[in-house]
Structure 1
Amino acid sequence: MEFLPFPAARRHAASTVVVDSILPRAALTLAHWRGAPTPAMYQDDTSAGSVLRALRPSAAGLAQARYVTANHFDVDGFVGVWAWLNPVLALRYEELLRLAATLGDFREIDWQSPLADHALQLVCWLNAEEKARFYEPFGAPAGRRREDEASAEKFEWFLPRFGSILENPGLGRAAWEAEYRRVKQAATRVQSPATTVRRYPEIGLTVVRTPEPLPYYALFSPSIGTDIVLSLYDGQRYELEYKYTTWIDLESRPTLPRLPLNGLAACLSDRETGRHRWTFDGITDTGPLLRLDGRQLTKAQRYADPDQRPIYASSISPEEMEAEVVAFFRVGYAGMEPKRYWTWAEVREAGGQAG
């Protein structure tokens, strides 16, 4: 088995296992993307989790497979590709790799896990080396390159090096330490009296009220089990975000579909007395944001941590903001039942009915 860049894999699909991507006629698909043809026995919350499931039995499609590929580089996809190429070591560290993939994709980590710090160090190492040596996530178009082509360089650099960091993260301390400490300090703030967390499980919403914008790995950890986060910061600065958990086929629990945010944006804009207006991303974006003048951000900026982008002050009080958001989703989800494996057609239909 060997890694094959995605453009080349298109010519060898029948001999290729595709991870965290879709490749027509592939020998085996191991992806959590909505509608991906991942065999039911391997479906998992993360694509790396699907790979780890497939490694335990002799996966269907393995006999004829010679290559493994992915059409982009991120933590989940990389961990899945690496695990396929290193099955013995991957299964030895299965729980740790699952935590890392979940943190990378969903920005969630259970700080009570004895492996939480190790997983965070791995993810911070991947993030730091990726930015230092290559380009930031979603940054390929800025260099006039296609992600499925440009990302191959990342895989080729990381694949032979990851195993040693997995077994001894201290070897990568110089790269991961700064981001690791930043996240840990932010997590301490989330767990302090300065931050309040309210959950509305019936609509899948977590409200985090904290003084300043935080890294996602700290901000989203209290939201485990929900799919929408409303962040309320001092100075009447707010953002609402659909988590990636409702872009993919989540296996572990049912979810509600994403609702278009145009109605909520219009309602909030009517209340604003300042110069900014509420804007929103479409429901098929990987992590749609509702924010003041949010359309000015690039995809790379929207993917970056909230403390790395401008968040404008609103004339709406935090109490009013929370009440409006909760009311919007309660009305929109009235009569809907959560379920697994929504199709995009069903999501759009549900959004139309809610509107």
Structure 2
Amino acid sequence: MAYQFVPFATLREQPTIVVDSTANGAALVLAHWRGAPTPPLLRDDTSAGSVLRALRQPATPGLAAPAVTANHFDVDGFVGVWSLLYPDLALEHEDLLRQTARLGDFREWEGSSTLADQALQLVCWLNAEEKERFYPPFGAPVLRRREDEACVEKFNWFLPRFAQVLQNPASGRAAWEPEYQRVQLAAAVMRGPATRLTHYPEIGLVVVRTPEPLPYYALFGPTGGADIVLSIYDGQRYELEYKYTTWVDLESRPALPRLPLDGLAAQLNEQEAPPHRWTFDGITDTGPLLRLAGKALTKVERYADPDQRPIFASSITEDVLEQAVVQFFRQGYALIQPRRYWTWAEIRAAGQPGSAG
């Protein structure tokens, strides 16, 4: 079956498979988005993973549609679309593509295998070429364009070129090496004596103490299986973040729902000295942050690595801050059990006082 990539706006003009997105009128949806109508047997932690499952089940209803689309460009969605267009190569490199998609979305890189190393190279190549030739993730509105329209140019450029770098990573070294080396150095810091991790598995939290802000791929590397990260940097600088693992429907494990962070922010603001105040993003954001605010961050800045944005010093000591965060989530999750496939309505309800799940 030969597929054609088409712009998202044209999906109703022909039977179309929608990847890493969802839409009415799709012949088939292959997405890990919360509530997406992905067939149960094809559900996976990543959208690309669902595509790869579908390629091994050719009788899947809707898979014979001639067109494929997505409403945005990111690593997971791109790998999924590319895999449909080049199925033989995709299945030949299935394990590597799965790791690449996971790394692109969940940002957890430990570098413990050759495959993980290759996945980092591919992700860094995609990141570098995307920023150099087009615009950064979530940057379309700055160009006064809609992402579902602007991303078509990215797909059209990357789709015919990805196979060469997949099969011969050295061909893309000039693009991927700078970020790759930056992540390698940061990962060494995460493994070193200056970094300490404290796990609270009952609430899905990892506290990372490390001297300075680091790239996400390294910072989140050892946090697999957890969904909330409290980063504590020297000088009483902090950020709390819900990982993207709580925005999607994970197939591999149950998870707790996101809780709104306004109560925690209010509690911290009672203790915080001027001039900064604790601010928070809503629970439907892809990666909500709780942090001391100066100038409000754009979505592009919030998605960028922590070492690429200002993180302000707090008047609250590390131990007090950690205790407040742990107590907030322990109380919030006291009556809630982890499970798969939360709806957004259920997540909002779980954040109400006295809720149980």
How many residues get paired?
A: 353
| Match of residue 259 from structure 1 | 259
Aligned: 1:48 with 2:56: no
Separation in structure 2 between the aligned mates of residue 132 and residue 267 of structure 1, nearest angstrom: 42
- Is 1:278–1:294's contact at 8 Å kept on the other side of the alignment? no
Separation in structure 2 between the aligned mates of residue 238 and residue 5 of structure 1, nearest angstrom: 41
| Match of residue 334 from structure 2 | 334
What SS is found at the alignment partner of 2:197? strand
- Is 1:257–1:350's contact at 8 Å kept on the other side of the alignment? yes
| Match of residue 229 from structure 1 | 229
| Match of residue 83 from structure 2 | 83
Separation in structure 2 between the aligned mates of residue 128 and residue 270 of structure 1, nearest angstrom: 42
| Match of residue 246 from structure 1 | 246
- Is 2:31–2:50's contact at 8 Å kept on the other side of the alignment? yes
Provide Cα deviations, 1:19-72, integer angstroms capped at 9, x if missing partner.
Answer: 000121211100000000000000000000000000001142346401010000
Aligned positions of 1:1-355 closer than 5 A:
1-12=3-14, 15-62=15-62, 64-293=64-293, 296-353=296-353
Further displaced range: 345-354 or 335-344: 345-354
RMSD: 1.1
Question: What code does the residue aligned with 1:236 have?
Answer: Q
Task: Return 5+ residue gaps in structure 2 as ranges.
Answer: none
Provide Cα deviations, 1:109-128, integer angstroms capped at 9, x if missing partner.
Answer: 24223311100000000000
- Is 2:276–2:294's contact at 8 Å kept on the other side of the alignment? no
Separation in structure 2 between the aligned mates of residue 38 and residue 63 of structure 1, nearest angstrom: 12
How many angstroms does 1:325 deviate by? 0.4
- Is 1:204–1:256's contact at 8 Å kept on the other side of the alignment? yes
Task: Return 5+ residue gaps in structure 1 as ranges.
Answer: none
Separation in structure 2 between the aligned mates of residue 49 and residue 294 of structure 1, nearest angstrom: 39
How many angstroms does 1:184 deviate by? 0.5
Provide Cα deviations, 1:201-239, integer angstroms capped at 9, x if missing partner.
Answer: 000001100000000000001110010000000011000
TM-score w.r.t. the length of structure 1 is 0.98
How many angstroms does 1:274 deviate by? 2.5
Provide Cα deviations, 1:66-93, integer angstroms capped at 9, x if missing partner.
Answer: 1010000000000000001111110111
Separation in structure 1 between the aligned mates of residue 345 and residue 136 of structure 2, nearest angstrom: 32
Question: What code does the residue aligned with 1:202 have?
Answer: E
What SS is found at the alignment partner of 1:353? coil
Percent identity over paired residues: 69
Residues 63 and 147 (structure 1 numbering): CA distance in 2 closer, same or farther, change over 3 Å?
closer
Provide Cα deviations, 1:173-200, integer angstroms capped at 9, x if missing partner.
Answer: 0000000000000000000000001110
Separation in structure 1 between the aligned mates of residue 63 and residue 223 of structure 2, nearest angstrom: 41
What SS is found at the alignment partner of 1:68? strand
- Is 1:21–1:33's contact at 8 Å kept on the other side of the alignment? yes
Provide Cα deviations, 1:228-275, integer angstroms capped at 9, x if missing partner.
Answer: 000000011000000010111010000000000011001111111121
